[in-house]
Amino acid sequence: MTDSIEMERKFWKALRDDKTLMLGVTGAGPAQPMTAQFDEDTGHNVYVFTAKDTDLVRALDSHQDAFAYFVAKDHGLFAAIDGRLTLDNDPQMIERLWNPFVEAWFEGGKSDPKLALIRFEPGRAQIWLNDHSFLAGVKLLLGRDPKQEYKDKTAEVRL
């Protein structure tokens, strides 16, 4: 039996560690790699600084159905996430999330006219664990059924 709470915990830990996900607006073209940021006070929302002239921002109206894909750096976890994407240029949130990496992209700083802060509110996610280790190969050689082994490595969770 898949422990969906543990899978969700692993997902958030991996995303917070790696910070890069592919983010897109449903029906508006391909996803784009973005750097995720988090504000502990707002739960599991994901914030992304970007430019107002990107395809992603242009595809937004007030709220949009969106999706994200995430692959952990070690390829040990994969996720497909559905949610909502909103333009969120709240000056207080920009102040809280601002850092030297973001500043490097915006010459005008926090008041740069090109600056856009978007908020991804995840809804449901399909999460897969990838047991690609040496141990998995040994189990296969010893006659274990990989389909049985893998069924406990996936979960659908509400984020």
pTM of the model: 0.82
Residue count (the chain): 159
Using DSSP's 3-state secondary structure scheme, residue 47 falls into strand
pLDDT at position 146, please? 56
Give the residue extent of every domain in the chain. 4-158
pLDDT at position 123, please? 95
What's the sign of the alpha-carbon dihedral 106, 110, 112, 114? positive
pLDDT at position 157, please? 74
pLDDT at position 15, please? 95
Q: Which CATH architecture has domain 4-158?
A: Roll (2.30)
Q: How many angstroms separate the most distant Cα atoms in the chain?
A: 61
At which residue do the structure tokens 């449901």 appear?
Answer: 124
Using DSSP's 3-state secondary structure scheme, residue 133 falls into coil
Series of mean pLDDT values for 10-residue runs along the chain (159 residues): 81 94 90 92 90 90 87 93 94 95 95 96 93 56 59 68
CA–CA distance, 92 with 115 (Å, rounded to integer): 14
